[in-house]
Structure 1
Amino acid sequence: MNNFYDDNAEEFFKGTVNVDISYLYDDFLSLIPDNGNILDAGCGSGRDSKFFISKNYNVTSIDGSYEMCRVAGEYLEREVMHMQFQEMEFENEFDGIWALASLLHVPSDEIKDVLKRFKNALKENGVIYASFKYGEFEGERNGRYFNDMDEKSSNELFEKLGFEIIKTWTTQDARKDREDEKWLNIIVKKINF
């Protein structure tokens, strides 16, 4: 997976940095306190980090691709941490985790561990926004690994790991010429036992 983004970082940046997904921000940000801490997990171009920073949130941006970290870091004019989700060891640091089109690259046999790491990274009542390509496919597609989700599979996954489902909805791809692609969006809250 990382080779795809390392090999295509500049093209991916140009194809995503100006895509308007502002309609996705409100539900997530309504659950984050003013000046709260957000982890942009798999930040890609840095577009969403830039928006959150402009709204005075404290943003930590990470990506699993060295080249995406480089181009996003140049765009943001700040460091983007190179880190795989499987390496995360944050503890009680974030009010919210933004995982737009990033968790979808985690295989099903690794995603529970990754979500446990996300949960550990969240403060009490912290929230996660995540998006997945809609469906039941898992495997390689166009040089990248995808783990698609639908409402049933995503809700079961997050609930089993101790999250409360706040909202699940579908959207069309916001990129030009990709409107026929459907996305599953989910917002969940950490439940403290």
Structure 2
Amino acid sequence: MSADDKTLAIYGAQAQAYADLTDDLEGDKHLVKFIAAMPDGARVLDLGCGPGRAAGQMGAAGLDVDAMDAVPEMVTMAAAHPGVTAWQGTFDDITGDTIYDGIWANFSLLHAPRAAMPRHLAALRHALKPGGLFHIGVKTGTGEARDNLGRLYTYYTEAELRGLLTAAEFTPQGSWTGRDTGLSGEPADWIVIHSHG
């Protein structure tokens, strides 16, 4: 199992605070770009959906949205958004072939152990339709560490992440980097990469 129990418990306890932090996604250029790239009536997966803000925007845009999170409090919040089907599951529960036109994994897979990342990416590649869009965001750096809230993070360099994506038979394309302060109050560097299946 690649879910860290302590990390999940922290997200459960902080669910409302996290929802408040992610309340304003209207200006998220990566989400806007992702939605714009989807064909009419596209089916998408929001992996590690949290309170479902991104899933809700996808649903409002007319997409058929599956949202998955390992934290029951987050699933309840995500399910409240119109057009969103939410369920509880971990990265190990990713199955199926050629289901999704797009997969949104926005700062979720960084909680999986490094050794599990290749198999998770392979499962996501199988679930993505040929030519589909895969969005991944992670914090950049090296190693693994817990933040001051106790959440476990695995950090990646851009080269390492691109290598993992290529090995999973994705075609990495555009990337963006930045630095933000999240729920823990600690600033962190990040990268987002869009790939096609």
* Cα distance between partner residues in 1 of 2:181 and 2:33: 17
8 Å contact 1:138–1:146 — kept in the other structure?
yes
8 Å contact 2:139–2:155 — kept in the other structure?
yes
**How far 1:46 moved relative to its partner?**
0.7
Structure-to-structure mapping, 1:20-35, within 5 angstroms: 20-35=26-41
* Cα distance between partner residues in 1 of 2:122 and 2:182: 31
Match of 1:104 in 2: 110
* Cα distance between partner residues in 1 of 2:62 and 2:109: 25
Point out the more displaced range, 148-157 or 30-39: 30-39
8 Å contact 2:173–2:196 — kept in the other structure?
yes
Q: Give yes or no for the alignment of 1:11 onto 2:17.
A: yes
Match of 1:184 in 2: 191
Gaps of 5+ in 2: 1-6
Question: Cα–Cα, structure 1 residues 54 and 132, in superposed 2: closer, same or farther, change >3 Å?
Answer: same
Match of 1:166 in 2: 173
Match of 1:153 in 2: 160
Aligned-residue CA RMSD (Å): 2.3
Question: Cα–Cα, structure 1 residues 173 and 35, in superposed 2: closer, same or farther, change >3 Å?
Answer: farther
Question: Cα–Cα, structure 1 residues 177 and 12, in superposed 2: closer, same or farther, change >3 Å?
Answer: closer
Question: Cα–Cα, structure 1 residues 172 and 105, in superposed 2: closer, same or farther, change >3 Å?
Answer: same
Q: Give yes or no for the alignment of 1:46 onto 2:52.
A: yes
* Cα distance between partner residues in 2 of 1:156 and 1:77: 35
CA shift digits 1:118-139 (9 cap, x unpaired): 0111111112101011211313
- Counterpart code for 2:150: G
Q: TM-score, normalised by structure 1?
A: 0.88
- Counterpart code for 1:129: H
Question: Cα–Cα, structure 1 residues 29 and 136, in superposed 2: closer, same or farther, change >3 Å?
Answer: same
**How far 1:140 moved relative to its partner?**
2.3
- Counterpart code for 1:18: D
**How far 1:16 moved relative to its partner?**
1.5
Give the secondary structure class of the aligned counterpart of 1:173: strand
Match of 2:4 in 1: none
Match of 1:62 in 2: 68
Match of 1:71 in 2: 77
**How far 1:78 moved relative to its partner?**
5.2
CA shift digits 1:48-79 (9 cap, x unpaired): 01111111111111111111111222355854
**How far 1:18 moved relative to its partner?**
2.5
Question: Cα–Cα, structure 1 residues 39 and 147, in superposed 2: closer, same or farther, change >3 Å?
Answer: same
Percent of paired sites with the same residue: 25
